[in-house]
Structure 1
């Protein structure tokens, strides 16, 4: 039976975020739900973040600090899980912050529905007065049994070919309350993002296949901070495609244990092609600011990659909405310049949003 006021653990990995850490932790301390355990995992910070964690712990006895050698976000979250004693757990990235009612509202939805897991929407935060709300696609919706796989997990992976959105639901683990009973009983953990570039979806697959009831509220209660370092130019990663191929293989291996191939294949292929298009965009953006970089040659290498050719050959992109269909057609036919023009137009449009 669900306790009226259970302890809820909030795990916050910390690495070189002295500029944002205070706002992040304050947003948790100011929660209207007070029965919290706040676990700050200092992942080998080289700035003052570790000292800030220790100082905060002296000011509020709900704060616990774990210092560890740097191993990345996923491993830091696991270190938090290893010491968490709450009935439920929430993950928060230390450069982000949350609405003061996030925990209360997510837990109220759990109590209302009898679910073991609850999700909410989020905000894209570009600075004061520059916030783009992203409500969850579901509002006051609850899923049980196989509906959790079909209407939650697979909608996190990607949409069907004809769907207008790349994915109906966010795969981020930061917009939810998770059951520690499910995590503990099934030994659910995050992989290292140094091995898998999107560690959250690996966690989602491992966790949601064992959840008995998942519920949603639409309200955007999490604030995801966008900074200059989030841009395609600043975050360019030349190994991105190879990492996505490794990611694809792992996701396919995990999904095939719980779904028929015809249930998830088109969604997983859409996910992978979305990552391919993202990389093409990153290459083009990087080329604009680094004139010595041969973006055309790199895009040609991407569209001729053997695994990209295999996926695009079987993916029914002609069922995609128009703009997506055009870009996938460029990949399918190896149209390099048109692909570069399309991603450039998309980037220029996005920069005019604010």
Structure 2
């Protein structure tokens, strides 16, 4: 049987209301030579049935039903069953443009790319959208130094940059050559153990890549669920950020990316933690709970350690102030700044 050009892996969990839109956007691709691997991560709604019904209608679809282990391990189940020359990942509440794979495949094949990255657009329940791309031109990266620069910009930015990251990190916004994934046994970590599993996957992949590209063109449409953002209070997020920071510190040293990489890693930790602090401070929990939590996280040794090795005074003003108030444990001022 002829192998498909692209294997599209879709982890599925509690997305009954959105699954049709996602699957229709895949099946309506102008490129027909694809396989679609739907990974039902023990979804408790009607998603398992919907997946099976789609598989009956289209022979390109394969369904995997597995016990619930989270997004990263669901993707791994799909990777192990994939037969395409390239692999793509789509989250099951998002969708893609019809021309996505025909355009990406043409570029990847003609230039013999190991991966091609692209932009995405956020869309909101009220119909509003916002683009997300910090790259203005199509770029190729054809040697180890150029790919190192690309990877550094994906991890984080230099202290004086206004944005925390120049290149988006989502594995859903890339087409990967499966040969590299297979040869080097590249898989996702569980996001329940290490957050930002997409970043770790990309680091592992790019370490072995020889020729990649990035286009500013938007193919992917990412759903923003504002209700879940305001309802969920993640008190453990700073601790998880710290675990990721320490893991990356060792990994980046292991692959010899140098001190600059660790500075980018620290910028990543600062940015992720600032976001976590803002989410808690803007949540619906009581003021006492918020300030008690802020007091606890500000006492963590990690802030003093970072202040000693990171030039935080070079950060943009509001980011510098945010870090300073955290490091110096000015709880009330930090809370006011986070609420702004």
TM-score, normalization by structure 2: 0.95
Q: Which one of 291, 303, 323 corresponds to residue 296 of structure 1?
A: 291
Number of the residue aligned with 2:209: 211
Number of the residue aligned with 1:117: 115
Number of the residue aligned with 1:50: 48
Compute the displacement of 1:146 (Å): 2.0
Does the 8 A contact of 2:141 with 2:147 survive in 1?
A: no
Compute the displacement of 1:322 (Å): 1.9
What does residue range 220-259 of structure 1 map to in structure 2 within 5 Å?
220-231=218-229, 233-259=230-256
Ranges of 4+ aligned residues in structure 1 off by more than 3 Å: none
2:275 is the counterpart of 1:278: yes
Deviations 1:197-251 (A, max 9, x none): 21111111111100111101101110110013441x3221121122112111211
Distance 1:100 1:118 in 2: 17
Number of the residue aligned with 2:319: 324
Compute the displacement of 1:136 (Å): 4.9
Compute the displacement of 1:308 (Å): 2.5
Compute the displacement of 1:101 (Å): 1.4
Deviations 1:43-93 (A, max 9, x none): 111110000000001111111101101100000000000000000000000
Compute the displacement of 1:138 (Å): 5.0
2:331 is the counterpart of 1:336: yes
Does the 8 A contact of 1:12 with 1:94 survive in 2?
A: yes
**Comparing 105-114 and 205-214, the one that deviates more:** 105-114
Distance 1:146 1:333 in 2: 40
2:307 is the counterpart of 1:312: yes
Does the 8 A contact of 1:109 with 1:215 survive in 2?
A: no
**Comparing 15-24 and 246-255, the one that deviates more:** 246-255
Distance 2:276 2:8 in 1: 33
Compute the displacement of 1:335 (Å): 2.0
Measured at CA, do residues 111 and 139 of structure 1 come closer, stay the same or move farther in structure 2, by a change above 3 Å?
farther
Distance 1:156 1:120 in 2: 13
Alignment length, in residue pairs?
Answer: 338
Distance 1:172 1:261 in 2: 24
Number of the residue aligned with 1:67: 65
SS in 1 for 2:36: strand
TM-score, normalization by structure 1: 0.91
RMSD: 1.6
2:89 is the counterpart of 1:94: no
Does the 8 A contact of 1:89 with 1:180 survive in 2?
A: yes
> Which ranges in structure 1 are unaligned for 5 or more consecutive residues?
346-354
Compute the displacement of 1:277 (Å): 1.1
2:149 is the counterpart of 1:154: no
Number of the residue aligned with 1:127: 125
